[in-house]
Amino acid sequence: MIQNDIQRARRMHIADIPTRSAQRFGNKIALVDHEHQMSFKEFHQCVEQIAMHLYDQGLRKGDKVMIFSHNCWQFPAILYATAKLGVISVPINFMLNAAEVNYLLQHAQPKMVVVEDSLCTVMERALIKTDFIPPQQVVIDLNQSNVAAQWQNFDTFLQDIEITLPEIELHAHEPIRMMYTSGTESLPKGVLLNSEALMAQYTSCMVEGQMSSNDREIHAFPMYHCAQLDAFLNVDLILGATSYIFRRFDPEAVLDTIAKEKITKLFCPPTAWIALLNSEKFNPAELGSLSKAYYGASAMPKAVIEELLQKLPHIRFWQFYGQTEMAPVATVLHPEDHFEYADSVGRPAFNVETQIMAEDGEILPQGEVGEIVHRSVHLTQGYDQNEEKNAESFKYGWFHSGDLGYFNEQGYLFVVDRIKDMVKSGGENVSTREVEEVIYRMDAVKEVAVFGTPHPRWIEAVTAVVILHPDQYLTEKLIIEFCAQHLSAYKMPKMVHFAEALPKNASGKILKRELKQQYQHQPTEAKVS
């Protein structure tokens, strides 16, 4: 019994963050969501209220709650309320179509889905073909959209309820979140993250990114991503910083808010930094408050970071490199390193050990190219219901990132290529195999290869090279229209080329590296850009 009391007294769990921040920061503004503001004390009270309602509706430790929504203050409140109960939160991509959501539903089998009103129709279609006990349906009213009668309004979770939550035993090693990543394969994988991993990752971000309670930060990128959610928003909630929540990224609105609200800190993927630079409202003189800037999610073109450094010399830039399985930060490129090592992803983060590994498990010396592998408390405790992938990813006692890279003599990591053929288009992971499988459904298609090519807006554009059967006819427009029926917009090819044959090695494997080289300078078609 005394051991249980000791463990409770020593607990440091993400469920405790709202309580402790409320005590430390009280009436300081924690969240600003359009016209709605919440202090740390009010946020804590909301989390407590939501947790009581979830418990009253039957949610118990180990159950799952799926969240399908754009950014809003309710998003983090739900995450912390579920954490208090030991319930696993499952945020999913709001751009998915009904078939894609259906697969995630079948895999996760949540007890409840919490859905933005404008996405309820997609969720309803996805739920039709499920074969498990239907989840409770809760709607967040963000757009005043009409929804069917079976949807319970989230606002009821904010009403007073007279119940007492039981003492729920929470352990840092137990899963508290499942984030989906499609990686390089057709089907998404459920990445299980526990409180220990997340808390250690928050510490790494604070230390490496020089974050503090004085920060005022815009959060304009999806909270279903670990990057915005766990490298920035949750860190702000621990530190006592003030967070401005945007539904989606709007360059002009971001620039206006930086000037008006004296924003000090901003994370954007490279595509967004490009959009800010190209905005008519971009004026360095009005960005004087912004002192810390971060990027990640995809490679930053060297020319872009050089332009940013030249036009915004008062701002310090950090690059965070990692992936969902690392919760997500693995390495960091610091401001002082950008001039000499702008094409590097930096050095291993606090709490992370990174090495380069050969296929046989040998750790390679500096300068040699191999797979980037990590050891860290940040790491996922594995993929849900996927032991084969777990065995592959944790071989030799290291986590295998799937990226090729090398360290230089100064200890900076350089990413050479992806081992498997994932495309990061606008910061979103796109499985080339998934796109290929859709195009292969067209009877006229003999062979197809999908890969990424440089693009001025998307950084990488999903590009397809198609070989037709003899005497068959297709156009780029017909292929893109067909893909639109089966894929989310961000997964669709931006360019389609036709060829007589695909380059292959002796074993018949398509050489995508050669295709990338061949097509990287092809003009981008305006109609699909």
Strands 265-267 and 292-295, by their bridges, are parallel
The single-letter DSSP state of residue 174 is S
Report the run of H or E that residue 393 belongs to, with start and end: helix 387-393
Q: What share of the chain is helix, strand, coil (3-state, %, to 5)?
A: 35, 25, 40
pLDDT at residue number 525: 45
Q: Can you list the domains of the chain with their CATH numbers?
A: 2-171 (3.40.50.980), 195-418 (3.40.50.12780), 423-528 (3.30.300.30)
In this structure, what token pair is assigned to residue 219? 């959060």
- pLDDT of the residue at 183: 46
Total-model pTM = 0.83
- Comparing C-alpha atoms, which of 340, 441, 438, 382 is closest to residue 189? 382
Residue ranges of the chain whose pLDDT lies below 50? 183-186, 506-508, 524-529
- Taking only the tens place, the pLDDT of each residue in 403-417 is 888 999 999 999 876
Give the pLDDT of residue 509: 60
Q: Where are the beta strands (DSSP E) in 127-215?
A: 136-140, 152-153, 175-181, 189-194
pLDDT of amino acid 505: 52
Look up residue 294 and give its two tokens.
């971060």
Distance from C-alpha of 404 to C-alpha of 186, rounded to nearest angstrom: 21
* pLDDT on residue 17: 98
